Structure 1
Amino acid sequence: MSDYKLVIGLEVHVQLLTETKLFSGCINRFNPDAPNTQTDPVTIGLPGTLPVMNRKAFRLAVRSAMALNCEIARFTKWDRKQYFYPDLPKGYQISQYDLPFSSNGYLDVETDLSPEKKRVRINRVHLEEDAGKNMHDESGRGGDSLVDLNRAGTPLLEIVSEPDMNSAFEARKYLEELRLLMTYLGVSDCNMQEGSLRCDANVNLHIPQEDGSVIATPIVEIKNMNSIRGVEAAIQHESTRQFKHWQKTGERFGDVAKQTRGWDADKGTTFAQRGKEEASDYRYFPDPDLVPITVDDTFLAEIRNELVEFPSLKKQRFESEYQLSAYDANVIVDQGREYAEYYETVARTCGDGKQAANWVTQDVQRELNDRGLTIGQFWIPAEVLGTLLGKIVSGDLTNKGGREVFAEFLAHPDSTPVVEDVDRIIDEKGLKPVTDTGAIEAIVDGVLDRNQKIVDDVKGGKQQAVGPLIGQVMKELKGADPKTVRQTLLDRIAAR
C-alpha cells in the first residue's frame, strides 16, 4: 500500500493582553532588549511568596473559550506541573490538569477543499503561566546557553484541538482562523515573531494494509515553529519522513515511544529532541496556594456581552449587506477588526459597498503599505473618505476629481481632514462636473476642428482613435465625465 491518512492535532498557546502577569503584579510586556528586568519575587519563586490570580486574565480566557463554543466549567482549580528546566525558576508551572475551566468546543474553518466548512473539535482550553525563554548558541561551537525570565509568568491560554485535521493545509487554515478570532476578541495580538502565539503540532499516520488493518505511526510532537507557514511546512516534512521510514523499515511501530522533535526552518527538516512525556511524568497535584474558582450565571452573562461579531459572521454579513464578493469580504475582514470597521464606516457613509471596498483595499491599502502604517495610524477618517466617495456615487464628482481630493488629503499627513474639507477642496480646485451640454459641445467642436485626420479615422471605422481627443477635451473641461465626453465626440463626429 502506498497511501496513508495524515492525522494532526494542534496545541496552540496564546499570550493574553494583560497589564500584569498571571499571578503577580509584575509588568507583562514583550521586551527582548532588556532581559531579566521584568521579574519579581513571585515570578522567580523566592521562598515565602504567594501567587494572586489576575482577574482580567481569567475574563479574557473565558471570553476566548466562549467564542470557541466551549462548555464553561462552574468549578475549576489550579495545578502544579512539575518539571526542571532552566527557564522555569520555581521548578514547576502553575497550570490546569483534570479540571480545566473549559472543554468540548469547536471551530469551523473554511479550507477551500469543499463547500462545507471543516469542523475542528476543541478538546479543552485552559489557562497557565508561561515559562521563560532559553537562548542557545546554535553555531555548533559549544557556546553558552542564556535564560531570559521576562516572559515567565505571562498569562498563557492553551487551546488543544482534537486530531481532526488531515492535511498541512487544513492545519494552516485552522491556525489562521484561530489567530484572526483571537485578535478580533481583543485577547491577544497573536504576533508569532514575538512569541505571543505559538503552536505545537502532534502528527502521525494511519497506514491501511492489504488485510484491512491499519498501522498507526507513533505520535510526534513538533516544536520550535515561529510562523504559520512554518507549521505547514513542518507537518508536510514530518508526514513524508514518517512514511518513508515505514517504507524503508516496515516497522509496525508497536514498541516505538512517542517523540518530541524540533523544526529547523533553514534546513527544512525536523530533528529528534527527546522522548514524549506522559501526564504522569509531570506529577500534577493541586496548587495549595491558590483557591479554586467558581463562576455563576451573572459572570458568564457579563462575558457573553463582551463578545464582538466573529470574523466568519462578519464576512457573511459583508457579502449580503454590501453585495461584496467572497474574495473582497475575506480581504477586508482578514486585515483585522479595526480595518473592517473602517471599511464599514466608509460603506455606510457613501452608500455603495463595492465602491468603498475598491477604494479601501486599493487606494487606502496602497498608502498604508507604502508608508508602513496600520489603519489606525491613517489620518483620513472613514467618515471623510465615505463623504468623498458619496460625491462620486451621486455623480457630483468624477472618479478623477475624487482622486484629486484624496491626493490633497494625502499631501498633509499632519492634518486630519474633516467632512467639510471635501466640499472646500472641490470648490477650490473647480472639480464640480460640467453638466452644461452646450459648453461640452462647444469645446468638442473646437477640438474636432483642430484634428481633422482623427475625425476621418473615426468616421472610417477606427473608433479607438477617439482616445486622444477625449484627453484634449478633458484638459479644457476639468470636471467633465469621460464617458459623456466620449459619447459627445462620437455623436458630433457622426453628424459631420
Structure 2
Amino acid sequence: MSLQRSSDELVGYDEAMERFDVVLGLEVHVELGTASKMWCGCSTEFGGEPNTRTCPVCLGLPGSLPVVNRKAVESAIRIGLSLGCEIAQWCRFARKQYFYPDMPKNYQISQYDEPIAFDGRVELEVDGVGYEVPIERAHMEEDAGKSLHVGGSTGRIQGSDHSLMDYNRAGVPLVEIVTRPIRGTGARGPEVARAYMAHLRDMVRALGVSQGRMEQGQLRCDANVSLMPKGSDELGTRTETKNVNSLRSVEAALRYEIRRQGAVLAGGGRVEQETRMWNEAGGFTTAGRSKEQAEDYRYFPEPDLIPLAPGREWVAELRASLPEMPSAKRSRLQSEWGFSDLEMRDVIGNEGALDLIEATVAAGCDPVAARKWWLTELARAANEQGVALEELAISPVQVAQVQELVEAGTVNDRLARTVIEGVLAGEGAPGRIVEARGLAVVSDEGALTAAVDAVIEANPDVAARIRGGRTQAVGALIGAVMRQLGGKADARRVRELITARLS
C-alpha cells in the first residue's frame, strides 16, 4: 500500500509503522520537594498570590548571589543512584542564555557538559515484554517563572490582549532526566514512554524527593520523536513536544507526532526541527518555535558558583539509604497478596492505589477486600469529586475498619458503602457512623425468621418453584426480605433460612 499523502493529513499509526522506525527521546523535569528554592530561601509551596514568593536572588537583581541548596543536591544524587547512574566526583553549573520573559535574569542556571549524574538505565515491562530505557544524564537546574496570557480564549499568546508574569516558580529546584535515543520499541514506543513516566513518578515519590504531581507541573515531559526509513541507520529530524503533563498525554502526543511525521515524509516533505505544543482538548500538536542547538544557548561556566565535589562517603551513605524501588515493590506485593497480573495491572493503573492498598493491608485488612474498596467505591467517589484517591477524606485505617465491620457481621456490603459515604462526608469513624445512623444488620433470629415467613407467605408462586427444585428463584425472596428489613440483613443468613423453610 502506498503511503503517499499530502503533508497536512495523518497516516494511520499502523501504516506509519510499516514504513518507518521510531526513535524516541524523553527529557523529564522533576520539581524537587525542598522547602526553599535552589539558590535562595524563598518558599517553593505551590500556588500563592503571584510574585509573593520572590527575592532579589530568584529575580536576578544586580548584586544578588546564589547559594546552592544542599538538600536539592542530595535529592539529585538519590535520583541519579536510583536510575543506575554514575555520580560525578566533580561537577559544576553553567549559564544557559535564555532570552524569554519567564527568566528574569535572561539566563538559566543549569548544568551542561558536567552533570551530577550520568550513564544509567531503567528496565521496564509493558504487557509482559521487557524494555530498557538508556539514561544519558540527570542534571540540576532552576525552574522558570510562569507566563499568564490574558484576554484570549485559549490561554496562549494568540488572541490575548497582554501577558502577565508570575515569578513564584522561578528558582524552584529541578532535576532534568535525559534519555539517550530509545530504539527497538516498535509500535509500542508510546506505551513504553508512558510506562517510563509512571516509573519515574513512582520512583521520586518512593525517594521522597518530589510528590510527582503532574497536574501541578512537578513532573513534566518534553517528548522527542523522529522517524527513519526501515533499514536506515541515520536518525531522522526530531521534534520536541514541550511540557506534556499527564501519562495519557505523553502516549497520545507521541502517537500523534508519529502519524504526523509519517504523513510529512510519505508525502515527500521534510520534518522541521522545532518545538511543538500539545493541545489536550483537541488531541494534536501545534508548531512552537524552531529548536535551538546547544551552541545557540551559549553555555559557559556559572561564575557565581563554585564546582561541586560530592564526597564518596556521602554518596555511599545515600546509596545505602535508598528505599525499595517501585518495580521491586510491585513484584513483592503482588506475590504477597496473591493478585493475578490483570488484578495488579488494575492497581497500578489507578494512581496512588498501590500505596493506599498497602497501607490498608498494614492496618489489618485482607488484600482482596482492600483492593475492592479502593478500586470500586472509593475510585468512583474520587472520580465524582474530581480528586486523586489519596485526597479523599478517608484513611486506609478507616477503610480497614469498614471491612472489619463487614467481617464481624455488623454490616453487610451494601451498608458498608453507606458507612463509607458517611466517612467521606466527615461524620466520623466507621463504628460511630453505624451507631449514629442505625446501620447495624438485623441479627435477631426471631426478626429474621418473621420476615422470611412473611415474604414466603406473600409469594406462594415463587415458593412453589423453589420447592419444585428451581433454586435460582430464591434470589427473588432474598431481595424481598432485604427490602422489608431496609437492607439491614445478612443475605447469606436470609438464604439459609429460606432454604430451610422450603426444603
- Change in CA separation of 1:282 and 1:301 when aligned onto 2, cut-off 3 Å: same
- Change in CA separation of 1:319 and 1:453 when aligned onto 2, cut-off 3 Å: same
Distance 2:487 2:273 in 1: 74
Quote the offset at 1:143 in angstroms.
Answer: 4.4
TM-score normalised according to structure 1 size: 0.82
User: 1:6-53 CA distances to partner (integer Å, 9 max, x unpaired)?
Assistant: 11101111211122211112222334752x343322223222221101
Distance 2:126 2:162 in 1: 44
User: 1:88-121 CA distances to partner (integer Å, 9 max, x unpaired)?
Assistant: 2323221111221111122223323xx2332211
User: 1:339-359 CA distances to partner (integer Å, 9 max, x unpaired)?
Assistant: 544422432444521122112
Q: Does 1:455 align with 2:463?
A: yes
Distance 1:172 1:315 in 2: 17
Q: Given that residues 233 and 268 in structure 1 are in contact (C-alpha distance below 8 angstroms), is that contact kept between their aligned partners in structure 2?
A: yes
TM-score normalised according to structure 2 size: 0.81
Q: Does 1:482 align with 2:496?
A: no
Q: 1:121 aligns with which of 128, 131, 134?
A: 134
Answer 1 or 2: higher relative contact order, Cα 8 Å, separation at least 6. Answer: 2
Q: Given that residues 452 and 498 in structure 2 are in contact (C-alpha distance below 8 angstroms), is that contact kept between their aligned partners in structure 1?
A: yes
1:239 maps to amino acid: I
Q: Does 1:364 align with 2:378?
A: yes
Q: RMSD across aligned C-alpha pairs, in angstroms?
A: 3.6
Alignment of 1:132-281 (within 5 A): 132-135=145-148, 138=156, 140=158, 143-164=161-182, 166=185, 167-208=189-230, 213-214=232-233, 216-223=235-242, 225-249=244-268, 258-265=273-280, 268-281=283-296
Bigger drift between 398-407 and 341-350 goes to 398-407
User: 1:164-214 CA distances to partner (integer Å, 9 max, x unpaired)?
Assistant: 154223222222332232233332233344333222222211203xxx655
- Change in CA separation of 1:302 and 1:385 when aligned onto 2, cut-off 3 Å: same
Q: Which residue number in structure 1 is paired with residue 89 of structure 2?
A: 74
Q: Which runs of 5+ in 1 are unaligned?
A: none
Distance 1:250 1:144 in 2: 36
Q: Which residue number in structure 2 is paired with residue 354 of structure 1?
A: 368
Q: Does 1:15 align with 2:31?
A: yes
Q: Which residue number in structure 1 is paired with residue 441 of structure 2?
A: 431
Bigger drift between 425-434 and 377-386 goes to 425-434
- Change in CA separation of 1:398 and 1:82 when aligned onto 2, cut-off 3 Å: closer
2:137 maps to amino acid: R
SS at match of 1:294: coil
Distance 1:441 1:37 in 2: 69
Distance 1:45 1:408 in 2: 51
1:289 maps to amino acid: D
Percent identity among equivalent residues?
39
Q: Which residue number in structure 2 is paired with residue 308 of structure 1?
A: 323
Q: Given that residues 411 and 439 in structure 2 are in contact (C-alpha distance below 8 angstroms), is that contact kept between their aligned partners in structure 1?
A: no
Count of matched residue positions in the alignment of Structure 1 and Structure 2: 477
User: 1:60-86 CA distances to partner (integer Å, 9 max, x unpaired)?
Assistant: 222222222222222221122224333
Q: Which runs of 5+ in 2 are unaligned?
A: 3-17
Q: Which residue number in structure 2 is paired with residue 30 of structure 1?
A: 46
Distance 2:299 2:115 in 1: 13
Distance 1:293 1:196 in 2: 25
Distance 1:202 1:465 in 2: 61
Q: 1:470 aligns with which of 478, 482, 485?
A: 478
Q: Which runs of 4+ in 1 moved over 6 A?
A: 438-443, 476-479
SS at match of 1:75: coil
SS at match of 2:35: coil
Distance 1:153 1:302 in 2: 28
Distance 2:453 2:162 in 1: 84
